[in-house]
Structure 1
Amino acid sequence: MPTDNQYELLLAFRTRLRRFESWSKDAAAEHGLTHAQHQLLLAIRGHAGPVAPTIGDAAASLLVKHHTASELVDRTQALGLLERVRDPDDHRRVRLLLTDRGHRVLGALTEVHLEELRRLAGVLEGL
């Protein structure tokens, strides 16, 4: 059975997660993005596979349906932050790549997110 202290720690952790999420949304907005667009850029840049991700890969990373990811890609591409490129080995597949602008915006957001995570690390260690 969990202890009172464990419940308190869990609540504190979840509260800090919600605060971070709210802060992250505001940071994305300061760069002209929605939170979902920021997460999409991160899903593309952070994809660990040997080739650029597909919309399906991005959907899996974002925990959304394929059609939802596709609409998000459309809106983000319209901002000039990513592009679709046909896979040279399988022309049925479309890969997602960040544009130079997409790299710059994501880089700026990542810098501030890493700073915030470093700040939070000390707080979370105290839990």
Structure 2
Amino acid sequence: MATDAQYQRLLAFRNALRQFDQWSRDAAKRHGLTHAQHQLMLAIRGSTTPQGPTVGEIADALLVRHHTATELIDRTEELGMVARTRDKEDSRRVHLALTEHGHETLAALTAVHVEELRRLAPIFETLPRPRADD
């Protein structure tokens, strides 16, 4: 059975997550993006696929369906943030990359996100520590 301290830690953590999520949405909007577009760009930049992630990999990373990922990519491509390239060995496969403008925008967003995470870090440090019997 959960203790009062565990409930308190869980509540504080969930509140911090919601605050960060709302802050992140606002930051993306200030850069002309939706929250989903920012997440797309982060998934592209963070991908370990050498040629760039495929639409399917992006759908998996964002926990959305393939057609939803495609629509998001279309909208972000219209902003000049993302580019598609056909796979040289399998032309049915499309890889994604950030454009120069996409790289610059994501770098700016990442800088403010890292700073915000640093600001929020004390919230986690001040949470009650679990007791041995928690």
TM-score by length of 2: 0.92
For structure 2, the residue ranges without an aligned partner over 5 or more in a row are 128-134
Instruction: Provide, for residues 61-108 of structure 1, a one-character-per-residue CA deviation record: whole Å limited to 9, x for no partner.
Output: 111111100000000000000011001122111000100000000000
Q: Give the 3-state SS of the residue equivalent to 1:29 in structure 2.
A: helix
More contact order relative to length (CA 8 Å, sep ≥ 6): 2
Specify the alignment match of 1:3 in structure 2. 3
Instruction: Provide, for residues 12-42 of structure 1, a one-character-per-residue CA deviation record: whole Å limited to 9, x for no partner.
Output: 1001100000000000000000000000000
For structure 1, the residue ranges without an aligned partner over 5 or more in a row are none
Specify the alignment match of 1:66 in structure 2. 66
Specify the alignment match of 2:48 in structure 1. 48
Kindly indicate whether the alpha-carbon contact (under 8 Å) linking 2:83 and 2:98 is maintained by their aligned counterparts in 1: yes
Higher Cα radius of gyration: 2
TM-score by length of 1: 0.97
Give every structure 1 segment of 4 or more consecutive aligned residues whose post-TM-superposition deviation is greater than 2 Å: none
RMSD over aligned CA atoms reads 0.8
